[in-house]
Amino acid sequence: MNGSDLQPFATLDDITTLFRPLQPSEILKATKLLKVVSDSLRVAAAQVGKDLDCMIQASPALATVATSVTVDVVGRALNTSTDGEPMTQLTQSAGGYSASGTYLVPGGGVYIKKSELARLGLRRQQIGVIDFYGPYQGNPGCTLPADQD
């Protein structure tokens, strides 16, 4: 399957249903974002050695989660202002010349949160151990109790 055959994980109808109705000026941007976000999720999966499309085929429930995550990311990108400061919170002062704010999308563009990757099973904690003394051989004088019925 080549890149042009891959379909986005969500549709414009999904955005309207799960996020909000789109303005006519947002439809083209949302259409492009659906493809960008879906491919970004595929790349994130490939970086951890997984094929998201195969995972979705194996688990139809994951297809619903992928749709939800795609809509969340596209919705966040659509809410980002392109003609002003993309801030969700802004605090200003007059006498002390102070201003602070929280940006909607850090760094601009499409931003996929770690929690969204975790929802797709692409972020799992791993435990690594370095055994300096070799594998545990057990204590020959110690026996485990037998299973009791």
CB 66 within 8 A of CB 42: no
Give the bridge partners for 103, in sequence order: 87
Separation CA 16–CA 14 (nearest Å) = 5
Separation CA 138–CA 79 (nearest Å) = 59
The pLDDT of residue 64 is above 50: yes
User: Residue 5: what pLDDT?
Assistant: 78
User: Residue 144: what pLDDT?
Assistant: 47
pTM for the model: 0.68
Separation CA 55–CA 46 (nearest Å) = 12
The pLDDT of residue 27 is above 60: yes
Q: What is the pLDDT of residues 14-23, one digit of tens each?
A: 999 999 999 9
Q: What are the angstrom distances between the C-alpha of 56 and each of 9, 36, 60, 68, 105?
A: 10, 18, 6, 13, 27
Phi/psi of residue 36, nearest 5 degrees: -60, -45
Extents of the domains making up the chain: 3-104+112-119
The pLDDT of residue 80 is above 80: no
Q: Which residue has the higher pLDDT, 105 or 58?
A: 58
**Interval 27-52 mean pLDDT:** 94
The pLDDT of residue 104 is above 70: no
User: Residue 146: what pLDDT?
Assistant: 55
The pLDDT of residue 100 is above 80: no
Crossing angle of helices 27-47 and 60-79, in 10° steps, is 130
